[in-house]
């Protein structure tokens, strides 16, 4: 059985492993307030996505799916569920940085923006300052 749910503190070690397998940043997770959704399949975390709030804007981060579950809609379900959650929390725009998933996010309605066009508070986050290289593309979607 597959379940999409909010992550708990108990899930964090598994989330970190999954993110590290995809070479996604984990260094700031102890300090950053990130809401995670996970996909659980047969009692194992098989997908994750995170939301870090900056007022009415949110940083979509940490989308990862285990290799065996890719191509089955897991990423799209996680993005859609995170967008619904963000809307319910008053977030009106999602921004993300990616080096590998531009086409995937374009297919989900995200468009390229200049990195310096992201909200100023978001630009101060570790993800923008140090964790994602300048070569990462910045994308956004109004909710």
Residue 35 burial by Cβ neighbours in a 10 Å radius (0-12, 13-18, 19+): middle
What distance in Å separates the CA atoms of residue 86 and residue 90, rounded to the nearest whole number? 6
Q: Is the entire prediction scored with pTM above 0.75?
A: yes
Residue-wise burial string across 59-90, b where 16 or more C-beta atoms lie within 10 A, e elsewhere? bbbbbbbbeebeeeebbebbbebbbebbeeee
pLDDT in tens, the chain (143 residues): 788 999 999 999 999 999 999 989 998 888 889 999 999 988 889 999 999 999 999 999 999 999 888 888 999 999 999 999 999 999 999 999 999 899 999 999 999 999 999 999 999 998 888 888 888 999 999 99
In the DSSP assignment, the letter for residue 68 is G
Residue 31 confidence (pLDDT): 83
pLDDT in tens, 96-134: 999 989 999 999 999 999 999 999 999 999 888 888 888
Residue 31 burial by Cβ neighbours in a 10 Å radius (0-12, 13-18, 19+): exposed
């Amino acid at each position: 059985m597959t379940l999409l749910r909010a992550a708990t503190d108990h899930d964090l070690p598994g989330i970190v492993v999954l993110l590290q397998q995809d070479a996604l940043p984990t260094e700031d997770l102890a300090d950053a307030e990130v809401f995670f959704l996970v996909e659980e399949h047969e009692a194992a975390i098989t997908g994750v996505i995170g939301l870090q709030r900056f007022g009415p804007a949110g940083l979509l981060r940490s989308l990862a799916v285990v290799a065996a579950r890719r191509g089955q809609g897991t990423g799209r379900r996680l993005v859609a569920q995170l967008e619904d959650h963000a809307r319910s929390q008053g977030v009106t725009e999602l921004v993300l940085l990616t080096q590998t998933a531009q086409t995937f996010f374009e297919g989900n309605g995200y468009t390229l923006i200049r990195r310096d066009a992201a909200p100023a508070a978001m630009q101060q986050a570790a993800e923008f300052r140090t964790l994602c290289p300048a070569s990462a593309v910045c994308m956004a979607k109004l909710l």
